[in-house]
């Protein structure tokens, strides 16, 4: 366990040592603040669609997906590629650690940073609560959905980072991978076979997020995210093992 | 302590390391010597478990590196060639990370980090951000990172690159000191360094071990002739022929002449000591002898002979 904690601590600390973290944090807060304001404005108009403010905030807008697709690769692009570029991978992997410990340590550090970003949005819950009644259950499942999808996106980003020693290339790979995951959701509208249709419907990220936002705790999207995350992390550890490509 | 058996690494049909075998005893300091691109780093990377070998085996303290990597790696402190570090971290923070990575607990960290800071002369920069340190300091931080968990086997790839001469002397002392209790293998392309710190040197080129012995024994094995360097007070006549007549002399040549001095290089048969005959000759001929010195082979000569000469020389020492 010690190597895991060593990697986790170091990685989490280095987020806060790097300017990128503050840029991401600032962009995230400005964007989210703006979106929250817009949602409030729209829902305040008489012809507004019926719905709770926070449900719309948690994945109910296109903006949510736009910055999820950008921010996850930005958080993870450095994780393994920078170790390869600078050569620190050599002293890291010749220490008595397993590839799994390194991958998990880095993954959970990125997940913690991601959770830290969302922690600020709890303020919005209190703002809404100050003016109207808030049902706590959809908020909890909403945050669970954000954590699960975030975790999935970050694991894909970590895998992309294992492929290249160039951060920008890692970013582009991650973005492409996430776009593919996201696009999977459109397929259910075009495939005809009922089985395939059901499968792709089940894999549609925004449908999943919509369910979470309603306060429904469905195990299927949980299993979907967790198993894909595990697959990506496993793949990242395998890529790290093939380091003679270097 | 280190047992390398027929270690081979082939990159697309071209062997970078070709059946390298050697053994390092506990407490020995061994220099791994070779020109750039000879296969030193590749060998070290396979020994430390960073690269898988194409074939062959590495045993560290009896533990096979590629079958039980965690156990074998625990015994090793390795400093890679480029001494790559995390520029955003502080020195002490980095060393705590390295100690924890090697499995050290809090109690051990509290003791080990200050100790290694002192050993590597970096106590004054303990709270400095690594990115702002000079190359010499970074090199010592990387060395400290390899030593912090008190490994039994220390493997250093070009440890003194980028240091100034005063630091180099200190680091060499440190390495010699490490060799008292622990086993050290250090690679270098700097010959005096190998000679200054090692009990034994392994000479490698084109992925093969060409020789392994103490510097003194290598010197004796490779020496072909006795060479004397003589300086005389300058006289009117040429003196080279006078010396050429000494029994056992193979070659005598003037190497330098100034207004006041003449220097000569004399080569004699290997078994013959010509120092006394040379002195008597000078007295008889009325030459004023300013200097008479036997020229021993330097590590540079040994190295050049091993890496450039024909196979017969190599066989003589192998």
N-to-C CA span, chain B? 22
* Mean pLDDT of the region B223-231: 80
**Confidence band (pLDDT; 50, 70, 90) for B90?**
very high
* Mean pLDDT of the region A218-235: 93
CB B277 within 8 A of CB B246: yes
Looking at the structure, do residues B86 and B207 belong to the same domain, yes or no? yes
Looking at the structure, do residues B85 and B184 belong to the same domain, yes or no? yes
Pairwise pLDDT comparison (A43 vs B158), residue with the higher score: B158
Q: Among the residues of chain B, which ranges form H helices?
A: 40-47, 69-74, 91-101, 106-119, 135-147, 165-181, 191-197, 215-222, 240-244, 275-285, 299-308, 311-317
CB B240 within 8 A of CB B265: no
Tell me if chain A has a CB within 8 Å of the CB of B305: no
User: Which residues touch B164 (CB under 8 Å, ≥6 apart)?
Assistant: B136
Which residue range forms the structural domain that includes residue A105?
Answer: 2-245
Nearest CA in chain A to B145: A91
Residue whose C-alpha is closest to residue B56's, from B2, B4, B1: B4
User: For residues A86 and A243, what is the distance between their CA atoms, to the nearest angstrom?
Assistant: 14
Nearest CA in chain B to A97: B70
Looking at the structure, do residues B209 and B64 belong to the same domain, yes or no? yes
**Is the per-residue pLDDT at A192 higher than 80?**
no
Looking at the structure, do residues B245 and B128 belong to the same domain, yes or no? no
Tell me if chain B has a CB within 8 Å of the CB of A13: yes
Q: Do A87 and B84 touch (CB under 8 A)?
A: yes
Nearest CA in chain A to B49: A94
Mean pLDDT of chain A: 87
pLDDT value for A245: 46
Looking at the structure, do residues B132 and B229 belong to the same domain, yes or no? no
Pairwise pLDDT comparison (B82 vs B91), residue with the higher score: B91
**Is the per-residue pLDDT at B298 higher than 70?**
no
CB < 8 Å to B97, chain A? 6, 9-10
Tell me if chain A has a CB within 8 Å of the CB of B132: no
**Confidence band (pLDDT; 50, 70, 90) for A246?**
very low
Residue whose C-alpha is closest to residue B11's, from B39, B44, B47: B39
Sort A30 into a burial class: Cβ within 10 Å, 0-12 / 13-18 / 19+.
exposed
CA distance B130 to chain A (A): 12
Q: Is residue B308 part of a domain?
A: no
Q: How do residues B163-211 score in pLDDT, each as one tens digit?
A: 788 888 888 888 888 877 899 999 987 777 888 888 898 988 888 888 8
Q: What is the CATH classification number for the domain harbouring B95?
A: 3.40.50.300
Q: Do A243 and B89 touch (CB under 8 A)?
A: no
pLDDT value for A52: 67
Nearest CA in chain A to B68: A96
Tell me if chain B has a CB within 8 Å of the CB of A20: no
Pairwise pLDDT comparison (A166 vs B188), residue with the higher score: A166
CB B127 within 8 A of CB B92: yes
CB A76 within 8 A of CB A150: no
Tell me if chain A has a CB within 8 Å of the CB of B51: yes
Q: How do residues A59-72 score in pLDDT, each as one tens digit?
A: 667 778 888 888 99
pLDDT value for A96: 94
CB < 8 Å to A19, chain B? none
CB A113 within 8 A of CB A153: no
User: For residues B241 and B251, what is the distance between their CA atoms, to the nearest angstrom?
Assistant: 10
* Mean pLDDT of the region A112-126: 90
**Confidence band (pLDDT; 50, 70, 90) for B317?**
low
Mean pLDDT of chain B: 85
**Is the per-residue pLDDT at B287 higher than 70?**
yes
Q: Is residue B314 part of a domain?
A: no
pLDDT value for B148: 93
Which residue range forms the structural domain that includes residue B235?
Answer: 224-295
Q: Which residues of B168-204 are buried (b: 16+ CB within 10 A; e: fewer)?
A: beebbebbeebbeebbbbbbbbebebbbbbbbbbbbb
Q: Do A96 and B70 touch (CB under 8 A)?
A: yes
CB < 8 Å to A91, chain B? 78-80, 84, 98, 142, 145-146
pLDDT value for B308: 65
CB < 8 Å to A90, chain B? 45, 50, 80, 84
Looking at the structure, do residues B146 and B13 belong to the same domain, yes or no? yes
Looking at the structure, do residues B210 and B82 belong to the same domain, yes or no? yes
CA distance B243 to chain A (A): 59
pLDDT value for B130: 95
Tell me if chain A has a CB within 8 Å of the CB of B62: no
CB B152 within 8 A of CB B61: yes
To probe the interface with A, which of B72, B78, B81, B101 has the most A CB atoms within 10 Å? B101
ipTM of the complex: 0.86
* Mean pLDDT of the region A76-89: 93
Q: Do A91 and B142 touch (CB under 8 A)?
A: yes
CB B263 within 8 A of CB B257: yes
Quote the number of domains for chain B. Answer: 2
CB A28 within 8 A of CB A67: yes
* Cβ-nearest to A95 among B88, B102, B142: B102
Output helix, strand, coil percentages for chain A, rounded to the nearest 5: 80, 0, 20
pLDDT value for B222: 67
Quote the number of domains for chain A. Answer: 1
Please report the beta strands in chain A, taking only residues with DSSP state E, as ranges in sequence order.
Answer: none
Looking at the structure, do residues B45 and B131 belong to the same domain, yes or no? yes
* Cβ-nearest to A6 among B74, B84, B97: B97
Pairwise pLDDT comparison (B130 vs B286), residue with the higher score: B130
Strand pairing class (B183-188; B153-157): parallel
Q: What is the CATH classification number for the domain harbouring B281?
A: 3.30.70.3190
Range among A101-115, A198-212, B203-217, B232-246 with highest mean pLDDT value: A101-115
CB B38 within 8 A of CB B44: no
Which of B178, B203, B220 lies at the terminal end of a domain, its last residue? B220
* Cβ-nearest to A5 among B45, B84, B100: B100
**Is the per-residue pLDDT at A189 higher than 80?**
no
Tell me if chain A has a CB within 8 Å of the CB of B148: no
**Is the per-residue pLDDT at A77 higher than 60?**
yes
Please state the pTM of the whole predicted model. 0.83
Q: Do A244 and B51 touch (CB under 8 A)?
A: yes
Looking at the structure, do residues B115 and B32 belong to the same domain, yes or no? yes
pLDDT value for B42: 92
CA distance A6 to chain B (A): 6
pLDDT-above-70 percentage for chain A:
95
DSSP one-letter string for B146-191: HHTT--SEEEEESTTTT--HHHHHHHHHHHHHHHHHSEEEEEES-H
Q: How do residues B43-79 score in pLDDT, each as one tens digit?
A: 999 999 999 999 999 999 999 998 999 999 999 999 9
CA distance A122 to chain B (A): 31
In three-state secondary structure terms, A145 is: helix
User: For residues A196 and A188, what is the distance between their CA atoms, to the nearest angstrom?
Assistant: 7
Q: How do residues A102-116 score in pLDDT, each as one tens digit?
A: 999 999 999 999 999
CA angle, residues A64, A69, A74, in degrees to nearest 5: 120
* Cβ-nearest to B48 among A5, A88, A94: A94
Looking at the structure, do residues B252 and B156 belong to the same domain, yes or no? no
pLDDT-above-90 percentage for chain A:
46
What is the edge-to-edge ordering of all strands in the sheet holding B14-24? B14-24, B2-11, B55-60, B63-64
Pairwise pLDDT comparison (B300 vs A13), residue with the higher score: A13
Q: Is residue B51 part of a domain?
A: yes
Looking at the structure, do residues B140 and B277 belong to the same domain, yes or no? no
Looking at the structure, do residues B32 and B131 belong to the same domain, yes or no? yes
To probe the interface with B, which of A6, A90, A98 has the most B CB atoms within 10 Å? A90
Q: Is residue B300 part of a domain?
A: no
CB A172 within 8 A of CB A193: no
């Amino acid at each position: 366990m010690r190597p895991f904690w060593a990697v986790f601590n170091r990685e989490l600390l280095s987020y806060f040592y790097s300017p990128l973290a503050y840029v991401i944090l600032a962009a995230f807060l400005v964007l989210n603040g703006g979106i929250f304001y817009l949602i409030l404005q729209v829902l305040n108009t008489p012809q507004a669609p019926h719905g709770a403010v926070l449900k719309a905030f948690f994945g109910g807008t296109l903006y949510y997906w736009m910055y999820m697709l950008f921010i996850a690769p930005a958080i993870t692009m450095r994780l393994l590629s920078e170790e390869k570029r600078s050569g620190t991978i050599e002293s890291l992997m010749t220490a008595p650690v397993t590839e799994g410990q390194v991958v998990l340590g880095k993954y959970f550090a990125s997940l913690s940073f991601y959770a830290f970003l969302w922690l600020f949005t709890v303020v919005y819950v209190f703002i809404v609560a100050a003016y109207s009644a808030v049902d706590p259950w959809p908020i909890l499942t909403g945050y669970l959905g954000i954590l699960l999808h975030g975790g999935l996106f970050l694991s894909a980003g970590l895998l992309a980072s294992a492929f290249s020693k160039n951060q920008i290339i890692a970013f582009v790979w991650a973005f492409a991978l996430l776009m593919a995951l996201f696009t999977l959701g459109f397929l259910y509208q075009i495939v005809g076979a009922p089985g395939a249709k059901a499968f792709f419907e089940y894999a549609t990220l925004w449908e999943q997020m919509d369910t979470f936002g309603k306060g429904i705790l469905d195990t299927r999207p949980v299993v979907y995210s967790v198993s894909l995350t595990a697959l990506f992390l496993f793949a990242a550890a395998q890529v790290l093992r093939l380091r003679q490509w270097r | 302590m280190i047992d390398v058996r027929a270690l081979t690494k082939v990159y697309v049909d071209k062997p970078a390391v070709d059946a390298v075998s050697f053994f390092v005893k506990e407490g020995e300091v061994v220099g791994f010597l070779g020109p750039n691109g000879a296969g030193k780093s590749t060998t070290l990377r396979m020994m430390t478990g960073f690269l898988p070998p194409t074939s062959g085996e590495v045993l560290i303290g009896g533990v096979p590196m590629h079958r039980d990597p965690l156990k074998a790696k625990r015994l090793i402190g390795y400093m890679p060639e480029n001494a790559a570090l995390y520029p955003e971290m502080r020195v002490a923070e980095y060393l705590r990370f390295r100690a924890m990575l090697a499995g050290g607990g809090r109690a051990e960290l509290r003791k080990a980090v200050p100790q290694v800071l002192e050993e590597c002369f970096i106590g004054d920069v303990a709270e400095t951000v690594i990115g702002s340190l000079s190359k010499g300091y970074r090199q010592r931080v990387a060395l400290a990172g390899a030593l912090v968990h008190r490994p039994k086997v220390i493997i250093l790839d070009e440890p003194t690159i980028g240091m100034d001469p005063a630091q180099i002397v200190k680091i060499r002392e440190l390495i010699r000191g490490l060799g008292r209790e622990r086993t050290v293998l250090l690679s270098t392309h700097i010959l005096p360094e190998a000679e200054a710190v090692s009990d034994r040197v392994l000479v490698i080129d084109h992925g093969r071990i060409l020789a392994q012995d103490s510097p003194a024994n290598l010197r004796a094995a490779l020496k072909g002739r006795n060479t004397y360097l003589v300086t005389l007070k300058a006289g009117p006549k040429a003196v080279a022929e006078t010396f050429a007549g000494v029994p056992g002399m193979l070659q005598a040549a003037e190497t330098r002449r100034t207004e006041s001095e003449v220097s000569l290089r004399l080569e004699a048969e290997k078994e013959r000591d010509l120092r006394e005959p040379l002195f008597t000759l000078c007295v008889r001929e009325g030459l004023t002898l300013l200097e008479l010195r036997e020229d021993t082979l330097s590590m540079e000569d040994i190295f050049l002979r091993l890496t450039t000469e024909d196979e017969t020389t190599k066989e003589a020492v192998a």
